[in-house]
Amino acid sequence: MGPESQGAGAHEGQPAARSSGAEPSLRAHRDAGAGRVWAAGALERVGIVGFGAFGRLLAGVLSAHAPVLVCDARSVEAEQARRHGAVPAALSDVCASGVVIFAVTAEGLRGALALASAHLAAGALVADVCSVKVGPVAWMTESVPVRCDVLGTHPLFGPQTLAETGGVGGLTVALCPVRVGDQRLAAVEAFLGGALGLRVVRGTPEEHDRVMARVQAVTQLVGQAALELGYTDHELATLGYRRLVQLGSNVAAQSEALFMTIQRHNPYAAQERARFRRALGAIEGRIGGDAHAGGAG
């Protein structure tokens, strides 16, 4: 997730091997069926690597449907985890879950995968939530043992969106199946679309990133420009101008790291930005010189 986004608000870096305050509650979850992910339509234990803004969002959403274990590069306090319905645990315990979600940035994903891969249980479903897909999917394919399934995901929402909507129902998640059977993929889609009420869109990593180069990279570029130009609301503002100001506000509400991830790690973003600049140049050419400078009225 919008992070915002759309998937990338998690703490950067690599998960810690230990977390504080875990043991009493962890014992109750340890035998929660790590080998099976869906039984009678119910999601079983979930492990989340990364407990930043988006990791906390995930824990809060998924803990209503399954036990959730979490770890982070920084120690996760039991009380903080409890507020989001989760239990802090060591990386090895988190990775023994039936579903393991890496809620870390694209920059932190490779390091997290390197630390976690040896602990992943046979049959586990491993997923990321990065806002770009070509690179992260390739890294998961390389690093995740063949005994595990791999699924690229991009929740097109984040904490800012949920603060406005109050829930994930009706929001969108992109899925990029990598190494996952049809039956399991159907179960994932049924859970996301049924239990969570999400709109599920399936595609390849390349298809995803081509679209996101327009949907995210260019849109956030415009928002960043509006922010840096100091555009704010005004009593004479039109609806279109207010939407432009809102783009700037959306960018301001997310981290600089997320903005740079979307611009730098999407292989199609630079090309789309160049197309956008050419379009602006063509428009400027049609406009021509300043009419007032030539004395015209």
CA distance 30 to 201: 33
pLDDT in tens, 90-129: 999 999 999 999 999 999 999 999 999 999 999 999 999 9
CA distance 135 to 139: 6
Count CB-CB contacts under 10 A for residue 183: 9
CA distance 51 to 70: 7
CA distance 30 to 32: 6
Over the chain (297 residues), the average pLDDT of each successive run of 10 is 42 42 39 40 82 96 97 92 97 97 96 98 97 98 98 95 93 97 96 97 98 97 98 97 96 91 97 98 90 54
pTM of structure? 0.83
Q: Which of 100, 93, 18, 21 is nearest to 58 (CA)?
A: 100
Residue 190: helix, strand or coil by DSSP? helix
Q: Which two tokens stand for residue 297?
A: 């009225």
The domains of the chain are located at: 23-202, 209-277
CA distance 142 to 126: 13
Count CB-CB contacts under 10 A for residue 174: 24
Q: According to the model, what pLDDT value does residue 293 have? A: 55
- Give the CATH superfamily of 23-202: NAD(P)-binding Rossmann-like Domain (3.40.50.720)
Q: According to the model, what pLDDT value does residue 27 have? A: 37
Query: Which one-letter DSSP state was computed for residue 218?
Result: I
Q: Which two tokens stand for residue 35?
A: 């080998």
